[in-house]
Amino acid sequence: MNRFRIKKQRLLKWLKRAGITIVALFLLFLLLNLLFPLPDKIEYSVVITDNKGEIINAYLTSDQKWRMKTELEEISPLLRKTIIAKEDRYFYSHPGINPFAVTRAFFKNLFRMKRTSGASTITMQVARALEPRKRNIISKVIEMFRAFQLEWYYTKDEILQMYLNLVPYGGNIEGVKAASLLYFKKDPDHLSLAEITALSIIPNRPSSLVIGRNNDLITEERNRWLKKFATEKVFTAKEIEDALAEPLDAARGTVPHYLPHLSYKLKKYGSDLIKTHIDLNTQLKTEKLVEDYIRSQRLRNIKNAAVIIVDNKTHKVITYVGSSGFADTLDGGQVNGANAVRQPGSTLKPILYALCFDEGLLTPKTVVADVAVNYQGYAPENYDEKFNGYVTIEYALEHSLNIPAVKSLKHLGHDKLIQKLIQYNFRQVQKDQRKLGLSMILGGCGTTLEELTGLFSSFANEGKYIPPVYLQGDSSYNSTAVVSPAASYMINEILSKVNRPDFPLNWTATERMPKIAWKTGTSYGRRDGWSIGYNKNFTVGVWTGNFSGAGVADLSGANVATPLLFKIFNTIDYDSDEEWFTQPEDCDIRQVCSETGMIPSAHCTSLTTDHFIPLISSHQTCNNWQEVMVSPDEKISYCKSCAPESGYKKKWYKITEPDMQSWMEENRIAWQKIPEHNPDCEQIFKGNAPFITSPSNGTEYLINKKKPEPLQLVCKTASDVSKVYWYINNQFYKVANAGEKQYFIPEEGPVKISCTDDKGRNRDIKITVRYVNL
């Protein structure tokens, strides 16, 4: 009885000491874990995939390794079973260290006086890969400590995942995903038993077992392990038989490097797996079209192009071509032309007119005067340096006229356009918004092909802007109604007409081409040629030019960019039977006067139909006719103040603005003039004084001292004026016909310019002149 009690006391004492030891070791582990944190940060190769999940590009890690992350779902049951059977059959049972294997290896190595057997578990191999050291006892102890840390922080599946991501496979290949892709051109979850076994033996001898160089030796070693699996009944006899019969004809391949420009851009996002919406088939077809097309343009000194294609139904970017050839080092092929800030030319005109439609300022048939204008020194010109007189907004957009666009922007206010473009994520416009003015509508701002393609895709979505989506799972974007469905529809109708001057010359392949709407643009100096088109299916943005910024006389959006646009649509949407955009509920049709675009009055004889937005578009009645009291011989006109009691008649005259009068005179176009006003009228001096359009009031002019150029004197007058009188610094200078241009060389300093019409009405302006050495 006493012996039993003594044994029990000894057992309790031993258990107590063991418990204290275990607690002390555990506390020591916690302390060491705090002092020496686990170095578990793994850098992986950035991998880019297409819309099908296939790898289309990848990048080396900073230590020049192909180390692609294998996700848990990519670890197939066959891969898991094979690796565990070969490397660590008790992996799911031990706490990171297999004490029986350690004991066996210790005595085996001790009796043979050399290292003949290892005891590293999968967890310990991960620890060694995370923190490589020389192979000795101290290193082994550290590996054991790190193994406990790994088991403390990670699940068994996560540790196995880390092992499969870090195991070396020869050269600079690490991880089963990089190895399966480079050696077998497939994902790890598609590897066969024979392929998995062949890969599993390489880490033990990576320098002597090189796939593609030592395949016979690898096959021999693979078969030895397969037979061992058969002996241990890891796999069925049929599975082993099939694996033994499978030949090994693999060799190291290369990582695909498609989509270079977008891949490099997305790489900066910091993720190791970037899933895009790129359709590789469409991408490769477009790249070939761009390469072949630019090859044909090199004789014209046009050496590059960029293309973006957006699927309008999903808003996904399915093609992204940054240049005509990424490998072209002579012409900057590695420059991303789709993301480069360039001048947009006339490509912003559709959004301007859409905003004007929504503000009720214009409709497609609104008539404006395409004649010379001057806004405080800014005097825009049309592309062909000609004026067209009265034109509709529809005609102005079809022919991409500059002066109606500048007038419309002046009417709308350029700040409203800027704010809308900021809604479209125009970054450079947002950055420069305080510097921008009326010239922005003609290309005087900075945009990118990415931004413009996104803008035009909104016209294909009833005016709703959804930023183009580059990444799968990206839900950070919001739908923004930038313009109304009605305004969007009106723009679509105008831009889809083919009888336009920007239709490319010698283009005959339109017989079965899908119906599209498109807008071209050519920047100042002919440095950029744009063409952006869309239908219900796709929006395609095309930029052409040179990355050097060199201008080319032959470069224009119509004749260089648009043929490429048409080729792309013929390729991706050939013979499409997709229906065109339908008229939305907030858009209606009405009859208007064809001479003004306003609601017809009793005097309007020429009518046409026009789209308009109910309750928004102007309902002003046509007012281009005026009833005038004239003498019986129609040589003198009267106002109510000077009209005689009898001896006059009333006659209707069409109103012609002073700027149009000047244009008609210059072009020898007849117009109905109102007779000269009664010279005896006491109210004669109360009419409209001449308006001096040049020089611009309050402007400072710099004149070259060596070759001084004269300043131009131009004014607009009332229709009853025939002569004007110019004065410089209160000194009479010259008499001229109304609308006639005069020139003078001013003196330096402040200059007062006066213009008086033949009715005695006067206007003064002041300018400052400074002579400089230019």
Active site residues: 87, 346
Q: 21 and 37 in contact (C-beta within 8 Å)?
A: no
- Amino acid making up residue 381: E
In 3-state terms, what secondary structure has residue 599?
strand
Report residue 768 CA to chain centroid gap: 44
- Cα-flanking dihedrals φ and ψ of residue 73, to 5°? -70, -15
Beta pairing class for 762-772 and 749-757: antiparallel
How deeply is 228 buried, as exposed, middle or buried, from its count of CB atoms within 10 A (0-12, 13-18, 19+)?
Answer: middle
Radius of gyration of the chain (CA): 40
- Using CA atoms, how far apart are residues 703 and 711, in angstroms rounded to an integer? 9
**Longest distance between any two alpha carbons in the chain, whole Å:** 154
- DSSP labels for 656-716? --HHHHHHHHHTT----PPPEE-TT-TTGGGSPPPEEEESPTT-EEEEESSS--PEEEEEE
In 3-state terms, what secondary structure has residue 469?
strand
- Using CA atoms, how far apart are residues 37 and 59, in angstroms rounded to an integer? 29
Could you tell me the sign of the dihedral formed by the alpha carbons of 456, 457, 463, 467, in that order?
negative
In 3-state terms, what secondary structure has residue 262?
helix
Q: 348 and 400 in contact (C-beta within 8 Å)?
A: no
Report how far apart the first and last C-alpha atoms of the chain are (Å, whole number): 121
Taking alpha carbons only, the member of 660, 678, 666, 676 closest to residue 624 is: 660
How deeply is 564 buried, as exposed, middle or buried, from its count of CB atoms within 10 A (0-12, 13-18, 19+)?
Answer: buried
Residue 766: CB atoms within 10 Å: 12
- DSSP labels for 56-90? EEE---TTS-EEPPPPGGGS-HHHHHHHHHHH-TT
Taking alpha carbons only, the member of 491, 467, 462, 492 closest to residue 479 is: 467
- To the nearest 10 degrees (0 to 180), the angle between helices 237-245 and 193-201 is 70
Residue 564 Cα distances to 291, 317, 560, angstroms:
11, 18, 7
Residue 498: which residues within 8 A CB-CB, separation 6 or more? Answer: 510
- DSSP labels for 561-597? IHHHHHHHHHHHSTT--PPPPPPPTT-EEEEEETTTS
Residue with structure tokens 């929504």? 358
Taking alpha carbons only, the member of 406, 445, 402 closest to residue 426 is: 445
In 3-state terms, what secondary structure has residue 345?
coil
Token pair in block for residue 304: 């590059």
